[in-house]
Amino acid sequence: MRDDVFRRAARQLMLDEQAPTLTITGVDLLAYADSLIARFSNPALKHRTANRHGR
């Protein structure tokens, strides 16, 4: 997730659309969303979706 606009949109989707449908006791969904965004933004991890699309 190198694109800042896409990164913000993905985070907003997680928080506005997905989080309200989840009831997970003891999980801070805001912190979890932020950790997912950080993980997917880390170029050293080389996620498969990036490899499949030539990026």
Residues 6+ apart with CB under 8 A from 35: none
Domain count, the chain: 1
pLDDT tens for 1-53 read: 788 999 999 999 999 999 999 988 999 999 999 999 999 888 888 766 655 55
Q: Which domain holds residue 40?
A: 4-52
With a threshold of 0.95, does the pTM exceed it?
Answer: no
